[in-house]
Amino acid sequence: MSLLEVRNIESGYGEVQILWGASLSPQDGKLTSLVGGNGVGKTTALRTIMGLNRAWKGSITFDGKDITHTPAYTKAELGIVLVPEGRQLFTDMTIYENLEMGATNKRASAKFKENLERVYTMFPRLKERATQKAGTLSGGEQQMVAVSRGLMADPRILMIDELSLGLAPVLTLQLFESLRDLRKQGLTILLVEQNVQMALAVSDYAYVFSEGKTEMEGSARELMNNEHIRASYLGL
């Protein structure tokens, strides 16, 4: 059994149902991507796993325990961390202060210095500009802060929603290289990404979402070579 198991989840917003029986099981210590068109439920899946959306039906287990209706703050303490779409930084606070906000739970606060050194090694620019307000950074630098804030929470599974959205290609490459490094370190990562080709290039496994549920799944290499995926999502 994987650390995280999502089975037949249904959820949505108000009376609008978005997920219609979505299931996924990210491989431990691997990078797994959720890919698919806009509006098919990828972000809703992450939000429901995190507890920001209520699961109407189905089950979510983490480390063998049912957490379907566990509050988001408790899930964060367990080691489930979401880097949200749009970064959502505290723009009037410095880089360092934003990183501090990521380490508020007991697990993370005990490893603050270790994790701070980890993110500064990964993104030296953040160390150089630690006292600079986050709102004055470029979009790519802000995304570095967002990922780093997630890492400061000492995640057992790191979920990232739209890593490359709105970023220049050179910064996109740098951020994806950081994901490769984290995967090599054995961190379990669940990635939602609009750049399907890039996502599949760095992933071990992937799920293709369509109409609120999994249409197909397989190794990233298999899906990259699948003619249906190439035609529908890669434009090849």
User: From its phi and psi, is residue 102 left (phi > 0), alpha (psi between -120 and 50) or beta?
Assistant: alpha
Average pLDDT over residues 134-157: 95
Q: How far apart are CA 117 and CA 71, in angstroms?
A: 30
Task: List the beta bridge partners of residue 12.
Answer: 17
What does the mean pLDDT of the chain come to? 94
Taking only the tens place, the pLDDT of each residue in 48-76 is: 999 999 999 999 999 999 999 999 999 99
Q: How far apart are CA 108 and CA 106, in angstroms?
A: 5
Question: Which SS3 state, helix, strand or coil, does residue 209 take?
Answer: strand
* 47-61, 80-94, 184-198, range with greatest mean pLDDT: 47-61
Q: How far apart are CA 91 and CA 103, in angstroms?
A: 17
Structural domains for the chain: 1-79+157-165+190-236 (3.40.50.300)
- The distance from CA 121 to its chain's CA centroid, rounded to whole angstroms, is 20
- Single pTM value for the model: 0.93
Look-up of token digits 């290289």? 177
Taking only the tens place, the pLDDT of each residue in 94-144 is: 999 999 999 998 889 999 999 999 999 999 999 999 999 999 999 999 999
